[in-house]
Structure 1
Amino acid sequence: MQRRTLLTTALSALAAMTALAAPALAQDNWPSKTIRFVVPYPPGGPTDLMARLLQGELTKRLGVAVVVDNKSGAGGNLGSAEVAKQAPADGHTLLLAASGPMAVNPTLYRSMPFNPLTDLAPVIQISSFPLVLEVNPNLGVKSVKELITLAKQSKTLSFASAGNGTPQHLAGELFNTQMGIEITHIPYKGAGPALNDVIGGQVGVMFDILGSSLPHINSGKLVPLAVTSAKRTPQLPNVPTMAEAGVTGYEFGAWHGIAVRAGTPPAIIDKLNSTLNAIFKEPEFRTKWEAIGTPVVAGSAAAFGELIRRDTVRLGKVVKDSGATVD
């Protein structure tokens, strides 16, 4: 009986050691197969472009194929939820995590298919896109002050956005709230159609991601009034920030990062983070990255997690104040 008890105890200890060793072995062997890089938006936009720039660098440094998979729908919720709820927590599925589904949608949507704070683990922030407040030249406004004056006089002034809850929409609502004005929101199905109507004069005003609007600003089709970042942007050095233009305390932007499913071993997250930080230190890659319209951000997983938590509260308040909803 004693021998049987000792044997049972030994087998139990061996099983426990094997269970502990299995995750460690998986971490040591990571990555061991193709990495799927989920982009929760259609091909061709800035989010997709960021993933494709990183795709080649990650493949080179990690030694396995990295495949970009566009899973768009529901304002980024569809692809994000797939990673959060269906992907194995083994580091072989990455999410291009955007501020919309990560920090805005939890307030914008009455029902969310995942919880960004508990179902996903942050890896690194990779972008911080400033927006630019721009107008059609025929509006006849040359400054933010003149736009505010016009907004107080006009009952028909409107601003275009890429849709309810998008950065373009929330930037406009924040502007309305802080200035005590009412520029009417006109939502579009995407930034492209919205931008076209501002250029065409159907709508007078728009907050847009700098990378999309810069060619039209440079050609004179749009007049930039201010950028929404804390500092001026190198692409428009003569355009003031919103704070410099008189909107005290105004700062707004879209951001992106990399996330994995919650429960992914910390050692894998650390390796991913260090690999991506190394990529962003390469001068040639930094030049390509900044050409998209965002500075290199990088940093720790903890810092990205704090940004998500902070903006869930901050942007959630903007959504509530605007009354926006999509379901």
Structure 2
Amino acid sequence: MKKLVALLSLLLLVGSVPASADTLAEIRARLAASKPADYPTQPIEFVVVYPAGGGMDTTARLLAKYVEKYAGHRVIVVNKTGGAGFIGHTYLATQAKADGYTVGILANGAWTDAMLKAKGKWSHKNFEAVAFVNYAPVTWIASTEGRFKDKTLKDVVATIKSEPGTVKIAVVPSISFEFLAEQVETLAGGKVVKVPFQGGAPGVTALLGGHVDVATGFLSEYRGHLDAGKVKVLAAAAEQRAPDMPQVPTFNETLDAKHLVWSAWRFAAVPRGVPTARKGYLEAVLAAALRDPELQAEYQKTGSIVDNPYANAAAVDAAIEKSATLERQFFTTTGRLPK
């Protein structure tokens, strides 16, 4: 009981005081004092359901580094890929042990897969959040040597309308990447060729190889190529222009719409049933890491937005439930789910 009270006090303290206000030694000492006696005694795994090199993978590896900094425990990032994320989501929901040693670094695709692919065998409620991490808008990019090297998003949409079935767009099936392409098809009045990949990074590789005309992805998946002048950003599916890409228009402003908003909303979660003390310790360690100014700066470099409006993990779970409800409405409206 004393350990649990200490954890609750630590969560309140970490959530209200900037990481820079205390020394690293002081934060580590408080975390150590609240650590369960039997946990952790082995490395903690951060599970990513998309390939190495992508936005989720980058997010997880940066977070792992800073969790190790504050907790002093080894954290291993494991990529469980396949089925555009479905294999990893299913593993976390139905097979991973609820012992605190497996933490999913997840995004919106977790509840998308639950609704569209799981066939009732599991849902997003099989997970319990331990932290909100960050979010990043979905973008379209073109090669600076390809078909749309000197074109804008309006030009691409005009081509979709005038030459239907000729524009190849890299997507990840059954997530925001594909949904955005479908919405643009509707606005353009023409079809595109949606080329499926397991993640954003493979799609960027295909773009550079001339195999697709447009790639869908997050800034972290092509930042190096953007800096090298190999790709350009056509638009971002955000409510407003991103602070780190103020020159990039949004889909909404370019296409005179209001509904083209898609992002990777990233969070950390454990299989439901992890002992309260272990879950509380994970929440405290993650909160400390995520408030580190250096980690926040590294995330911002990848194009992620780090503002955290959630007071605790329960608030993150509530936000997930709200988002899942809205997404279910979208799937019902588009005929993916029965009314």
Aligned-partner Cα distance in 2 for 1:318–1:223: 30
Distance 1:161 1:113, change over 3 A: farther
1:85-143 CA-to-partner distances (Å, cap 9, x unmatched) read 3344332321112322x1221233263653222x1111122121212223345336633
Aligned-partner Cα distance in 1 for 2:99–2:77: 17
Q: Which residue of 2 aligns with 1:229?
A: 238
Q: Which residue of 1 aligns with 2:15?
A: none
Q: Which residue of 1 aligns with 2:257?
A: 247
Aligned-partner Cα distance in 2 for 1:92–1:188: 29
Superposition TM-score, scaled by structure 1 size = 0.77
Q: Which residue of 1 aligns with 2:156?
A: 147
Range that drifts further, 84-93 or 231-240: 84-93
Aligned-partner Cα distance in 1 for 2:226–2:187: 26
Aligned length: 299
Q: Which residue of 2 aligns with 1:59?
A: 68
Percent identical pairs in the alignment equals 27
Q: Aligned to 2:246, what secondary structure does the other structure show?
A: coil
Q: CA RMSD in A?
A: 3.2
1:50-93 CA-to-partner distances (Å, cap 9, x unmatched) read 22222232234334333333322333233333333334433232
Q: Which residue of 2 aligns with 1:127?
A: 134
Uncovered stretches (5+) of structure 2, i.e. residues with no partner = 1-33
Q: Which amino acid aligns with 1:128?
A: Y
Q: Which amino acid aligns with 2:116?
A: L
Q: Is the Cα contact below 8 Å between 1:37 and 1:93 reproduced in 2?
A: yes
Aligned-partner Cα distance in 1 for 2:234–2:313: 35
Q: Aligned to 2:61, what secondary structure does the other structure show?
A: helix
Aligned-partner Cα distance in 1 for 2:117–2:270: 22
Aligned-partner Cα distance in 1 for 2:280–2:186: 40
Q: Aligned to 2:222, what secondary structure does the other structure show?
A: helix
Aligned-partner Cα distance in 1 for 2:249–2:257: 11
Q: Which residue of 2 aligns with 1:94?
A: 103
Q: Which residue of 1 aligns with 2:94?
A: 85
Match of 2:266 among 230, 237, 256: 256
Aligned-partner Cα distance in 1 for 2:198–2:91: 23
Q: Which amino acid aligns with 1:248?
A: K
Q: Which residue of 2 aligns with 1:306?
A: 318
Q: Aligned to 2:251, what secondary structure does the other structure show?
A: coil
Q: Which residue of 2 aligns with 1:115?
A: 123
Q: Is the Cα contact below 8 Å between 2:46 and 2:77 reproduced in 1?
A: yes
Aligned-partner Cα distance in 1 for 2:82–2:150: 36
1:186-244 CA-to-partner distances (Å, cap 9, x unmatched) read 22354344324434444323332122233334444334221112232233221112222
Uncovered stretches (5+) of structure 1, i.e. residues with no partner = 1-25
Distance 1:318 1:215, change over 3 A: farther
Query: Which has more radius of gyration?
Result: 1
